[in-house]
Amino acid sequence: MRRIILSIDEPISKEKLVEMEDGLAAVKVGWPLILSIGVDGVNKLLTGLGLKKIFDLKLADIDNTMNLIVEKLKPMADAFIAHSFIGVRGSLGSLNLQGRELYLVLSMSHPGWNESFYPYLREVAMEVNPEGLVAPATRPSVIRKVREDFPTKVVISPGVGAQGAEPGDAICSGADYEIMGRAIYLSERPVEKLREITKKMEDRLYECKRAKDRPR
């Protein structure tokens, strides 16, 4: 079962990453890694990996600026994450991803996020029609709402481990993949940790499936 997206926010050895490859659905990289090891370093780390590469720069600008960023990073990227609050005209509506996938942030995992933005962000996402959406594992009710509003979209969910959600919680609420960073890469043995988390997730998914299947 490959339902974990590894968020590589601090440098990790390529050797370890290759060892984890079979247990991952994708990797997510963004500013922290780019600023630590540079664009060439990221390129070297990701080259040859048979995993989807999601670039999480939280694009949030006018179209021209975002398109310049995409142009630089597209050789390495399969997908980009953008904020949805920036709106459509002159921004998301003319974002040119040149065949890469788009994931829009609909809600965030930290305590200070204001959920009252949701109706507007949903409207933007409906108009832009991205491949996927980002919604927080720390708020299962939001994931349920996103799944209801966007039944066919890929929902990826951060907030597991270091931010408090348990592996499997978000998927049980309707997400497709869970994003994890520190819980794995800060571990002394990340490869073993990934296995341990995957097992926990499988147990949780088994339980929630049983709960869903149970006659009422």
Phi, psi angles (nearest 5°) of residue 134: -110, 125
Phi, psi angles (nearest 5°) of residue 53: -110, 110
- Residue 99 assigned as binding residue: no
Q: Which of 22, 52, 53, 61 is the catalytic position?
A: 61
- Residues in a beta bridge with 134: 105, 156
Shortest reach from residue 81's CB to ligand BMP, in Å: 6
Identify the three-state secondary structure at position 135. coil
- For the chain, the straight-line distance linking the first and the last C-alpha, in angstroms and rounded, comes to 28
- Cβ proximity to ligand BMP: between 24 and 134 the closer is 134
Give the largest CA-CA distance in the chain: 55
* Nearest in space to 81 (alpha carbons), one of 30, 117, 37: 30
> Sign of torsion, CA 173 33 186 13?
positive
- Residue 41 assigned as binding residue: no
Q: Which of 16, 52, 58, 74 is the catalytic position?
A: 58
Helix ranges, the chain (H): 14-20, 31-46, 63-73, 118-128, 140-149, 169-172, 182-185, 190-213
Which residue number is nearest to ligand BMP in terms of Cβ? 181
Annotated active-site residue 169? The verdict is: no
Q: Which of 53, 56, 145, 153 is the catalytic position?
A: 56
The one-letter amino acid at 61: D
- Residue 183 assigned as binding residue: no
- Cβ proximity to ligand BMP: between 89 and 177 the closer is 177
169/28 Cα distance (integer angstroms): 20
Shortest reach from residue 67's CB to ligand BMP, in Å: 21
- Residue 28 assigned as binding residue: yes
Annotated active-site residue 56? The verdict is: yes
Phi, psi angles (nearest 5°) of residue 58: 45, 55
- Cβ proximity to ligand BMP: between 53 and 209 the closer is 53
- Residue 5 assigned as binding residue: no
Annotated active-site residue 58? The verdict is: yes
Structure token pair of residue 60 = 């949030």
Q: Which residues bind ligand BMP (CB under 6 A)?
A: 7, 9, 30, 56, 108-109, 134, 136, 158-159, 161-163, 179-183
Shortest reach from residue 159's CB to ligand BMP, in Å: 6
Shortest reach from residue 86's CB to ligand BMP, in Å: 15
- Residue 52 assigned as binding residue: no
Shortest reach from residue 212's CB to ligand BMP, in Å: 26
Could you list the active site residues?
Answer: 56, 58, 61
- Residues annotated within the binding site are 9, 28, 56-65, 109, 158-168, 181-182
- Residues annotated within the binding site for substrate are 9, 28, 56-65, 109, 158-168, 181-182
